[in-house]
């Protein structure tokens, strides 16, 4: 019997567009967690993940409660 190779990591990425600069952002699916604050690598805007499925994001503000 032939064994399948173990998958060491998940290569799935989430793609979205920054709500501030509209740049394309790709992050590993494992980092796309509800309540997580991500940073756009193009404009440094902070982006709040509001919901994972279906994906909902918005610009993060200090007064945002999550």
Radius of gyration of the chain (CA): 15
Domain extents for the chain? 13-59
CATH class of 13-59: mainly beta
List C-alpha distances in Å: 46 to 2, 29, 41.
47, 18, 10
pTM, full prediction: 0.74
Q: In angstroms, rounded to a whole number, what is the distance separating the alpha carbons of residues 34 and 50?
A: 6
Q: How far is CA 58 from the centre of its chain?
A: 11
Contact call for residues 43 and 25 (beta carbons, < 8 A): no
Confidence of residue 63 (pLDDT cuts 50, 70, 90): confident
* Per-residue pLDDT tens over the stretch 3-60: 544 444 567 899 999 999 999 999 998 889 999 999 999 999 999 999 998 889 999 9
Question: What pLDDT is stored for residue 61 in this prediction?
Answer: 86
């Amino acid at each position: 019997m032939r064994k399948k190779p173990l998958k060491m990591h998940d290569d799935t990425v989430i793609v979205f567009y920054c709500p501030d600069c509209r740049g394309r952002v790709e992050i590993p699916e494992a980092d796309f967690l509800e309540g997580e604050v991500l940073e756009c690598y193009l404009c440094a805007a902070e982006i709040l993940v509001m919901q994972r499925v279906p994906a909902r994001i918005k610009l993060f503000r200090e007064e945002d409660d999550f």
